[in-house]
A and B are shown apart, each in its own frame.
Chain A
Amino acid sequence: MNKIKASFGKVLISLIMVLSLLPFIIMLLGSFKPNMALSLVPVDFSPFHNTTLNNFKEVFAIADVGSAYLNSIFLLVFVVACEVFIAVTAGYIFATKFFFMRRWLFALVIVTMMMPRQLLLVPNFMVAKKLNLIDSLYGVALTTINASYGIFLVRQYVLGIPYSLYESARIDGCKDPGIFVYIALPMLPPIMAAVAISSMFGVWNDFLWQNVMLSSKANRTVPLMLSFLSNKAQNGIPQVGIQLAGSVVAVLPLLVFFLFFQKWFIEGISAGGVKE
């Protein structure tokens, strides 16, 4: 009886899994099919015949995939590097030092961590306009940086390092900068990686803000390239094959990355949960 129940559960979960993977299956199959194959009656789903690489050729012909990737990678590296830098410096101070208004400043970290950024969409845009950051990749990068969660993570991590390590270094005559560089910093790479991973997908997929900020063709990022492709139609017929091929081109590298590092993601989420 119990065995039947268990296998019933497994079947149910497998069904849910298939449902959640369905968009990816359709995307992959459709990208290798002629344009309207998925609309035929009956649906032409077979991956063995009638496949073509034309969609991909077309994508590379009409969209500047290379420059979109370069722009997105620039944004990603710039933003993630700044976030890690800010998170390490500020997180270290919050964990090891007592100073004026520390509690209030840390409350500010928590508030900015929990307040979704989209809420300040309009004021953020107006400020960016004032500072002349519109339609510039540097502008998008600077306005995308949000290190609050990283500060929180680094602080928790540094709190776990025994304080006596710093004390003994201090007794040996090491000053604050030296303690940071020689004692703390060598222990931080794991949490730096966690900070980077936790924010990179958000930056890569941040369509809303990039769409608002960037208008010129040269500044197109991967999400913007996709949105350009998704509006493609010929004689009123949507170019589904091209859109799906573009999607594959846009998500495949990151999906592979995610599958490679999935353990980090899942552990990162459980770490941010509820207090026991």
Chain B
Amino acid sequence: MKQAAQLKRDRKKLPEMLFIIAFLAPWMADILVFKIYPFFYGIYISFCKVTYKSMKFIGLKNYIDTFERSLFWDSLLATFKICLVTIPLIVLGSLLISFTIHHCSKRFKNMTKVALYLPAVTSEIVLAIVWKNMFSSSFGLSASMCNILGIKPIEWLTNASLTVPLVGVLVTTLCIAQPVILVSTAIDNMNESLLEASALDGANKLQQLWHVTLPAIRPTIAFVMITTTIGNLQVFYIPFLLTGGGPENATVTMLYLVYKNAFEYGNYGLAGAQGMILFVVIGIMVCLQYRFTRAGSVD
């Protein structure tokens, strides 16, 4: 009797089950074929020697090769150096800009955000074309400026100690908009009574900033730091399009190395292994990000 009732309830639920399956099917199909399958296939590739036609299992050789080759460590170092420029610049810059525009009119605020966001929605190739024209040492703006000043052209793109900071600064202009928008929204949403209370207690502006405002927006700052790190660990476009990895591989970043190994040298196995290493590094950062975002607080 009880079983019959159970069965009846199940049958009643059958249309609902079908509905759920039908609505999830497109997503499931997409994710199975183009996300999950490539992920496991990528793990498999990283243990194989892959040529255009054949594939042979060779165990850990790709990983050993990766760690033995100096180019991998160089790319790690290059990425690290660029991040060393971009992350402080982006975090401090977004704080500075947000605090400065906080008291300005809404229109001015919006104008700033739009102007900063413009490079982010523009194709990187376009920016690379313009930047090449600005920073080349043989033609373009920088060269002719130097000419006017009567000094030797600055070798922005051929002197590694200038190229790395330059790439960092350009990457910053590309991705500072989102942090600015997030931080300034956080400041706008802050509880004003905290500031009033601290003013009544005799805190000056600097003390307010340090002891009230900054702690109040700390989650946002942490979020910005993590997302910036995730983004900048995979700097690719600007070195690829502007410097070509040069001078002397000083700007070959990790993702660029993966690209080179796969699509310039055809060594897919090695590139797959390096991609997996990058995947693990960024996976750890993503776990951190998960804890700070709204997405992490579902249900």
Which positions in A face B, CB cutoff 8 Å?
6, 9-10, 12-13, 16-17, 19-21, 23-24, 26-27, 30, 36, 38-43, 82, 85-86, 89-90, 92-93, 97, 99, 103, 105-106, 108, 110-116, 118-127, 131, 142-143, 145, 147, 151-152, 175-177, 180, 201, 204-205, 207-208, 212, 222-223, 226-227, 230, 237-238, 240, 243-244, 246-247, 250-251, 254-255, 258-259, 262-263, 265-266, 269-270, 272-276
**Secondary structure dominating the interface of B:** helix
In the complex, the answer to whether B178 meets A269 with C-beta atoms within 8 Å is yes
Let me know if B237 is at the binding interface, CB within 8 A. Answer: yes
Q: Which of B198-216 contact A (CB under 8 A)?
A: none
* A106 to B116 alpha-carbon distance, docked (Å): 33
- Beyond A21-B118, A127-B37, whether A115 also contacts B283 by CB under 8 A is yes
Q: Are A251 and B123 in contact (CB under 8 A)?
A: yes
Complex contacts, A126 vs chain B, CB 8 Å: 38, 41-42, 45, 50, 268, 272
User: B298 and A262: CB pair below 8 A?
Assistant: no
- Of B27, B131, B279, the contact of A151 (CB 8 Å cutoff): B27
Q: Which of B1-9, B74-82, B159-167, B256-264 contacts A (4 or more CB under 8 A)?
A: B256-264
B-side interface residues, number (CB < 8 Å): 99
Report the minimal beta-carbon distance from B177 to chain A, rounded to whole angstroms: 8
User: Can you give 14 A-B contacts (C-beta < 8 A)?
Assistant: A23-B126, A23-B127, A23-B134, A38-B141, A89-B26, A110-B298, A114-B230, A122-B262, A123-B39, A125-B268, A201-B121, A212-B263, A266-B117, A269-B178
Distance (Å) between the CB of A140 and the closest chain B CB?
A: 12
A26 in contact with B134 (CB, 8 Å): yes
B residues near A227, Cβ cutoff 8 Å: 125, 241
Name which residue of chain B comes closest to A40, CB basis.
B144
Asked whether B42 lies within 8 Å of A123 as measured between CB atoms, the reply is: yes
Rounded to whole Å, the gap between the CB of B42 and the closest CB of chain A is: 3
